[in-house]
């Protein structure tokens, strides 16, 4: 992926910062700097602010979606630290995670959090810039690289600004980076392309560490607003039929239009979609208690598939093929072909789709099994 050309900046060096990435730290360091530049005209940026934003970025893929960044990456413990300290509102309309951390986490806990991250990424702010000084740092011991780069940044900040995106500034106990004006202008002008560049490399990194996980591109950021319109129509029309009496597969309670809630049998945080084949009706209280847990296969899988089969048959007989497209997609067959199959075949084929994803979820650390208890 090519970054925009600049006649005074060596953009090829910036392109090289992700050429050999073993951990996620550089991605989130750069993203956090872009966040701050986008939101303010600051040239002098507190490093503590960058660290908090890095945590806010990694929490969703690591804790909410339970992805892996590999054995060498230590950000998962940081994400768990946040979860253990504050309640995080994941509603699409809720405040950003950085706002929630700043407002809910006491200042002493924020300082503790920053200290953890700073220790974790001790080399990152310097190694991020190493491609710009590859000749000067070639062959130097790792323990000497940081000081070498810091000195070069001071030396070239004004005389060769094309080589220095930022330098380090200490003011008492506070640490900052000072962004070079020519680089600040470039980074701000090309925010969208640069974020795409980062996410492209980050997605490749995440794919390597999560080869069996679906929907990875949707699992790098905060959940977006969900579209349950098809699922809502699907189940409301089924429930309205006078011959239909639905019971919750978890609790046995009767489901009515008054208490209807839509449950993702495989949690949304696992599948990252709202396809009808994965959604069933439950009473609102049951849905809330299940949350993003994985239902017991022994207790609920057959009931889930039987309910799906009955509703599919209901809509198919009424010619509502538009509501059944999700099934055609996963089965790779037309609606007419699916409806001709007996329940046993429907069960077998849907099980082949659901069971591997449940096993993947268990490997990732999702809570299993969910068993409803009165």
pLDDT in tens, 153-180: 999 999 999 999 999 999 998 999 999 9
Instruction: Give the residue carrying structure tokens 């872009």.
Output: 34
Task: Report the C-alpha gap between 272 and 277 in whole angstroms.
Answer: 13
Rg from Cα positions in the chain:
25
Q: What's the pLDDT score for residue 374? A: 80
Nearest one of 129, 208, 207, 122 to 164, comparing CA atoms: 129
Residues 276-335: tens digit of each pLDDT: 999 999 999 999 999 999 999 999 999 999 999 999 999 999 999 999 999 999 999 999
Task: Report the C-alpha gap between 168 and 177 in whole angstroms.
Answer: 5
Mean pLDDT of the chain: 94
Q: What's the pLDDT score for residue 41? A: 86
Question: Which token pair is 265?
Answer: 């049998």
Task: Report the C-alpha gap between 61 and 56 in whole angstroms.
Answer: 10
8 A C-beta contact, residue 201 and residue 48 = no
Q: What's the pLDDT score for residue 142? A: 86
Task: Report the C-alpha gap between 148 and 136 in whole angstroms.
Answer: 8
Domain boundaries, the chain: 11-219, 229-364
pTM for the predicted model, two decimal places = 0.90
Instruction: Give the residue carrying structure tokens 């990194």.
Output: 205
8 A C-beta contact, residue 36 and residue 42 = yes
**257 dihedral zone (left: phi>0; alpha: psi -120 to 50; beta):** alpha
Question: Which token pair is 264?
Answer: 């993702």
Task: Outline where DSSP puts E strands in the chain.
Answer: 44-46, 166-171, 174-179, 260-264, 279-283
Whether the per-residue pLDDT at 224 is higher than 90: the answer is no
8 A C-beta contact, residue 55 and residue 101 = yes
Task: Report the C-alpha gap between 215 and 271 in whole angstroms.
Answer: 7
Nearest one of 217, 215, 118, 124 to 174, comparing CA atoms: 118
């Amino acid at each position: 992926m090519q970054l925009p050309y600049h006649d005074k900046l060596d953009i090829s060096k910036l392109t090289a910062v992700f050429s050999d990435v073993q951990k996620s730290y550089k991605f989130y360091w750069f993203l956090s700097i872009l966040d701050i530049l986008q939101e303010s005209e600051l040239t002098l940026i507190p490093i503590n602010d960058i660290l908090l934003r890095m945590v806010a970025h990694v929490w969703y893929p690591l804790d909410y979606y339970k992805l892996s960044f590999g054995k060498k990456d230590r950000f998962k413990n940081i994400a768990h630290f946040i979860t253990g300290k504050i309640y995080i509102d994941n509603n699409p309309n809720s405040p950003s995670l950085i706002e929630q951390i700043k407002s809910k986490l006491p200042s002493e806990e924020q300082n503790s959090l920053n200290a953890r991250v700073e220790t974790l990424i001790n080399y990152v702010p310097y190694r991020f810039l190493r491609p710009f000084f590859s000749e000067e740092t070639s062959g130097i011991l790792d323990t000497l690289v940081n000081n070498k780069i810091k000195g070069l940044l001071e030396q070239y900040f004004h005389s060769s600004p094309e080589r220095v995106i930022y330098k380090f500034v200490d003011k008492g106990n506070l640490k900052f980076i000072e962004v070079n004006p020519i680089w600040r202008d470039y980074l701000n002008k090309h925010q969208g392309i640069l974020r795409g560049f980062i996410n492209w490399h980050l997605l490749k990194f995440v794919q390597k560490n999560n080869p069996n996980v679906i929907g990875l591109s949707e699992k790098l950021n905060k959940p977006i607003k969900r579209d349950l319109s098809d699922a809502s129509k699907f189940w409301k029309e089924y429930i309205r039929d006078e011959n239909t009496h639905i019971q919750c597969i978890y609790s046995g309670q009767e489901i009515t239009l008054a208490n209807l809630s839509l449950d993702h049998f495989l949690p949304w945080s696992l599948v990252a979609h709202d396809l009808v084949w994965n959604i069933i009706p439950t009473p609102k209280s049951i849905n809330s208690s299940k949350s993003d847990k994985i239902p017991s296969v022994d207790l609920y899988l057959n009931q889930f598939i039987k309910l799906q089969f009955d509703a599919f048959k209901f809509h198919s007989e009424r010619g509502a093929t538009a509501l059944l497209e999700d099934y055609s997609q996963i089965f790779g067959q037309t609606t007419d072909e699916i409806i001709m199959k007996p329940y046993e075949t429907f069960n077998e084929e849907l099980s082949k789709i659901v069971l591997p994803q449940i096993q993947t979820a268990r490997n990732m650390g999702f809570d299993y099994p969910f068993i409803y208890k009165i």
